[in-house]
């Protein structure tokens, strides 16, 4: 362990000891919740679920996330910052399944446990993993798009971010299911990364210019789906190109209503945030916690979007945020 990490571990150990002595009894348990970002609607719903659990369980949460989504170094700094505040536990959605491992393992050595939510992390130094079955989500998207195309046509897949375990699993699930169930569908591009929605828009515009004969498209998260939607509209292709994306926001719901988006794979971020904080509190209280829990996965279409279960996932309840 290099000198910096050694000093950081000692400092964290001291702070954890301090918090354990005074924090639990005096100031009450505080749990840090660190998302991948704070811009996307998805993370607002995670926050709402975390706050609901904190209120029910009588603990405090420290909500801090990097801006914009996907900045590995920024998230590492946020984790170090909340640990230095003396929290008793960390609930983390890792931007990168490798880059965040040292900070989480240092925290564990200093006595601060981690619950991972949303996106995997390559360490066993974690209390639980609570996420969507992302590989299954990719397969669900592939079945929808393959069926819309009648089993033939030319498509593109715009990826999100290298190192993002959640979206990488969706991309893999999509490619595997498409090849197995719809071998006649030709993938013209699957190696471009969109990142946040501004960059996803410009990358999508380039893809549409390069492939004017496109029949379909898949995107694995909110920002890439929004970028592709805006590019399809700008190119006059919206509605003609069969388009399946992930997640929800007012703009994506509008795309579904207009028939510019033909499928949205939805998750349940409110429940994910809720279960993440609840698992951490149960662990801190010495109660048993499941090593892994999957949350809801469902396909929204222009046809089923008004059904109560779908509508509730398209527009999550953010009331615990005071909205």
**Which region among 16-24, 151-159, 160-168, 256-264 touches ligand BDR (by CB under 6 A)?**
160-168
Q: Which is nearer to ligand BDR, 97 or 106 (CB)?
A: 97
Q: Which is nearer to ligand BDR, 181 or 193 (CB)?
A: 193
Q: Which residue has the tokens 């079955």?
A: 133
**Which region among 34-42, 48-56, 59-67, 310-318 touches ligand BDR (by CB under 6 A)?**
34-42
* Strands 89-92 vs 114-117: parallel, antiparallel or unpaired: parallel
The region that residue 153 occupies, defined by phi over 0 for left and psi between -120 and 50 for alpha, beta otherwise, is left
221 counts as binding ligand BDR under rule CB under 6 A: yes
How many Cα atoms are found within 13 Å in the side-chain-facing hemisphere of 253?
Answer: 13
Nearest to 243 by CA among 173, 178, 167, 155: 155
φ, ψ of residue 148 in degrees (nearest 5): -60, -35
**Cis peptide preceding 232, ω within 30 of 0:** no
Whether the Cβ atoms of residue 316 and residue 48 lie closer than 8 Å to each other = yes
Q: Which residue has the tokens 């390559």?
A: 122
47 counts as binding ligand BDR under rule CB under 6 A: no
Residues 280-319 that bind ligand BDR (CB under 6 A): none
x/- string (CB under 6 A) for ligand BDR, residues 97-136? ---------------------xx-----------------
x/- string (CB under 6 A) for ligand BDR, residues 233-252? -------------xx-----
- Note the residues at the interface with ligand BDR (CB under 6 A): 36, 40, 42, 69, 118-119, 164, 166-167, 221-223, 246-247, 267
């Amino acid at each position: 362990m290099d000198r910096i990490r050694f000093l950081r571990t000692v400092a964290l150990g001291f702070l954890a000891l301090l918090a354990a002595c005074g924090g639990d009894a005096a100031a009450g348990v505080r749990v840090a919740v660190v998302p991948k970002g704070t811009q996307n609607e998805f993370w607002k719903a995670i926050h709402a679920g975390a706050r609901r659990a904190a209120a029910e369980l009588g603990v405090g949460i420290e909500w801090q996330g990097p801006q914009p989504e996907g900045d590995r170094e920024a998230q590492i700094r946020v984790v170090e910052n909340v640990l230095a505040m003396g929290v008793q536990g960390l609930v983390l959605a890792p931007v990168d399944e490798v880059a965040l491992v040292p900070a989480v393992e240092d925290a564990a050595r200093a006595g601060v446990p981690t619950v991972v939510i949303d996106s995997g992390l390559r360490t066993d130094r974690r209390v639980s993993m609570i996420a969507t079955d992302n590989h299954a989500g990719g397969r669900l998207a592939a079945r929808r798009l393959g069926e819309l195309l009648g089993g033939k046509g030319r498509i593109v897949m715009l990826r999100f971010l290298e190192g993002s375990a959640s979206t990488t699993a969706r991309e893999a699930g999509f490619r595997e299911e498409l090849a197995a169930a719809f071998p006649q569908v030709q993938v013209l591009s699957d190696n471009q990364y969109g990142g946040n929605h501004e960059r996803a828009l410009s990358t999508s515009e380039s893809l549409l210019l390069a492939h004017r004969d496109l029949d379909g498209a898949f995107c694995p998260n909110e920002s890439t789906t929004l970028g592709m939607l805006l590019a399809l509209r700008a190119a006059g292709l919206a509605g003609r190109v069969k388009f399946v994306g992930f997640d929800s926001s007012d703009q994506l719901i509008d795309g579904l209503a207009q028939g510019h988006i033909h499928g949205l794979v939805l998750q349940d971020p409110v429940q994910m945030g809720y279960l993440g904080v609840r698992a951490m509190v149960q662990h801190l209280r010495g109660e048993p916690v499941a090593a892994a829990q999957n949350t809801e996965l469902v396909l929204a279409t222009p046809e089923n979007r008004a059904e109560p279960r779908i509508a509730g996932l398209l527009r999550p309840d953010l009331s615990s945020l005071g909205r």
